[in-house]
Amino acid sequence: MMNPLEIFAVESAIASEQEFYRKIIEDNLASLKLAPAIGRIKVMLRPEDSLFQMAILLRDVGTRVTTADIADVEAKPVAGEIIISIKKEQYIPELLGKLWERYGKANISQPDRWTVAISTDKAEEEAAFLKDMMVADPRHRLHENLVDFAIRVTPEGFRVRYHLYKGNRFIFVASEEVFKREWVEEAEAMLEELMKGGRT
């Protein structure tokens, strides 16, 4: 179920384009699971200038994710290992990447999808370290997803692009032609409007 957006505005000189792009945006928000992170969004299409502008105000996307948030960590000093029992599978790739980096692939085994075993002669102190180890930063992943989303919903052939992601704000401007600085300023003004409550 998509969280309802507080503001979702698509404006274009061509009415049929408005509905078309609204649908594309909705579909991509759903497929990238971005809807919960976005509070307000405004898109402006100017076909006469081959211009696409988007301003997004994000909801609070949460804090960093540690191993303890996604798994149980158990030290087995006698066996010389640590067992990690995973509870949230969406972070498995990030977790494995961090573990390989720290312990080397040869010391990591995965008896099943939900279990990771680490061979170490410092099981207790490493288990304590692992519980607090940052596995993922939602903001970093969100930035990648926002750029991916913006590119997906931009009209084809709009290859000149600019984006800015700062705090809970994101703007994206794309065009076929030469880029004008004022277009970025207009997108920033759209963002200001969203922050004040904007027009729905």
What is the per-residue pLDDT across 7-57, written as a single tens digit (0 to 9) for each?
899 999 888 889 999 999 999 998 888 888 899 999 999 988 899 999 999
Buried/exposed code over 100-133 (b: 16+ C-beta within 10 A; e: otherwise): eeebeeeebeeeeeeebebebeebeebbeebeee
Q: Return d(Cα 93, Cα 157) in angstroms, integer.
A: 33
The answer to whether 86 touches 93, Cβ cutoff 8 Å, is no
pTM of the model: 0.66
The total of other beta-carbon atoms located within 10 Å of residue 47's CB is: 12
Structure confidence at residue 149 (pLDDT): 95
Domain ranges for the chain, please list them.
Answer: 7-62+138-196, 65-136
Name the residue among 16, 62, 51 with its Cα closest to residue 190. 51
In SS3 terms, 17-51 reads as HHHHHHHHHHHHHHHCCCHHHEEEEEEEEEHHHCE
Q: Which stretches of the chain score pLDDT less than 50?
A: 1-2, 200
Structure confidence at residue 47 (pLDDT): 86
Beta bridge partners of 109: 117
Structure confidence at residue 23 (pLDDT): 94
Structure confidence at residue 90 (pLDDT): 85
Structure confidence at residue 146 (pLDDT): 93
Q: Domain 65-136: state its class.
A: alpha beta
